[in-house]
Amino acid sequence: MALIAALLFVLFLALSIPIAASLGLASLIAVLVTNKVPLVIVSQMVYASADSFSLMAIPFFMLAGTVMEAGGLSRRLINFANCVVGGTTGGLGAIAVLTSMFFAAISGSGPATVAALGTILIPAMMEAGYDAAYASALMATAGAIGIVIPPSIPMVVYGVQSDVSVGALFLGGFLPGILFGGALLAYNYVRSKHQQWGGTSRPSLREAMLAAKDALPALLTPVIILGGIYGGVFTPTEAAAVAVVYGVMVGRFVYKELDWGKFPKALVDAGINSAVVVLIIMGASIFSWIIVSENVPALLVDLVRSISQSSVVVLLLINILLLIAGCLLDASSAIIVLTPLLLPVIKAFNVDPLHFGIIMVVNLAVGLITPPVGLDLYVAAGIAKLSLEQISRAVVPLIVVTIVALLVTTYVPSLSLALPHLLK
C-alpha cells in the first residue's frame, strides 16, 4: 500500500497536480485498491489532522504580516535599518538583510517578506548602481530568513507534525536566524567592496533618533509576541491573534496608514493561504498513516544504520535529502511529507527533535531560493522584471553562503538548543 501511494504521489506531482490533491488522491487510491482500511477510518483521520488549536496560528500570522505591511511598518523598519547600517560599504544591501531580519519577526513567511520589502529596496539598489540580478537575489535570500527567525509558519507546521513545543521552536530559531543574516551581511560587504558599491548618506543624530522613535511600535511586535509566549501570558496561537490586533491598532491609529478598504482582501488572502496548508495536512494525514502502518520508518532506520552508525554522516545525508526536497516542494509541504519518515531516524541517532526541526526549517529556507520552486526567487524576479534564469545565476554564491550557515546550525546543536534550555 505504501509503495502504491508513493508512486502515485510522484506521478501526480510530475503531472503538476497541486500537492494537496496529489497527497489525498494517491493515499485514497492506495486505500481503495488494497481494501485494507474502512473508509470511515480514513475520514476520521482527515478530520482529526485538521482539528488542532496550534494550526489556528497560521492564518493569524499570515494576516498579521499582511496588516503590518499595509499599515506602513515595512517602510519604517527600512528607515531604521538605514540609520544602523546604511552608511557602511554596500549599505543598501545591508539594509535589505537587516530589515528582512526585523520583518521576519513579524510575518513568519519568506515570500511575504520579499514582497513587502523588495518593492522598495530592489528598485533603490538598482538606482544606486547595484547589478539588478544581484539586488534581486540578495533580497530573495534575505527574505528566506522570514521562516527561520520566529514567529515562523513552517515551525508551527513542524510542531504540530512532531509534537514538539511551538514556543520552544520559536526560541530555537533565533540564533540560527541571526547566523543566517550575519553570513549574508558579511558576503554583501565583501561583494560590495569588490564592486565599489558604497553606502547611503549617514543620517544626523536627530534623524536617527526620529527614525528609531517612528519604528519603535514595529520593533515592539516581536517583543510582545514572544514575551507574551514565554511570560506565560498566552499560547503561540493566542500570540498570533494578539499580533493581528496590535498590527491593526498600530497601522490604523498610530501610523494612520491602514485603509479599512484593504482589510477584507487581507482576510480573504490569509484564509486562502491557510486553507492550502490545512488541505495539505489533511491529505498528508492519510499518506503518513499508510507509511507508519506499513513500518516504513523502521525500515528506513535499518537502512540508514546499514549505511553508517555516525550521526554526523546521517545528518549530512538528511541535509542533502532536505535540500533536494526544498528544490521541489514548498516548506510546509516538505515538512508535512517528510517529518513522519525522518523523525524516527533522527531519534534513533539521539538527535534532539527540536534541533532537527530547526535544521529542517533552515534547509527549507535555502529551498526558497533554489529553482525550480524557489518561491522567493519568483517574487523578487517579478519585482525586478528579470527572468528566472537571470536571477538563478546570481543566487548561486548566496546559496553557498546559506549552506555554510546550515552546516554550522546542523553540527553546533547549542545554536538551536541554548535558548530553549535556558528559558525552560
Cα within 13 Å of Cα(247), Cβ side: 31
Would you state the pLDDT for residue 3? 81
Helix extents (H) in 51-109: 57-70, 73-85, 91-107
Of residues 296 and 130, which shows the higher confidence score? Answer: 130
Give the residue carrying C-alpha cell 503538476: 16
pLDDT category at 158 given cuts 50, 70, 90 is very high
The residue extents of the domains of the chain are 2-422
Would you state the pLDDT for residue 43? 81
For the record, the C-alpha cell of 171 comes out as 526560541
Instruction: Indicate the angle between helix axes 263-293 and 153-162, nearest 10 degrees.
Output: 30
Would you state the pLDDT for residue 319? 94
70-91 average pLDDT score:
84
Would you state the pLDDT for residue 287? 82
Asked if pLDDT for residue 39 goes beyond 80, the answer is no
Would you state the pLDDT for residue 56? 83
pLDDT in tens, 184-237: 999 999 999 988 887 777 777 788 888 888 889 888 888 888 888 888 888 888
pLDDT in tens, 131-142: 999 999 999 999
Would you state the pLDDT for residue 137? 94
3-state secondary structure 264-316: HHHHHHHHHHHHHHHHHHHHHHHHHHHHHHCCHHHHHHHHHHHHCCCHHHHHH
Is the sign of the CA dihedral 319, 322, 328, 330 positive or negative? negative
Q: What is the spatial distance between Cα 385 and Cα 159, in angstroms, rounded to a whole number?
A: 37
Calculated CA dihedral for residues 335, 340, 342, 346, nearest 10 degrees: 110
374-384 average pLDDT score:
88
Would you state the pLDDT for residue 142? 94
C-beta of residue 368 within 8 angstroms of C-beta of residue 322: no
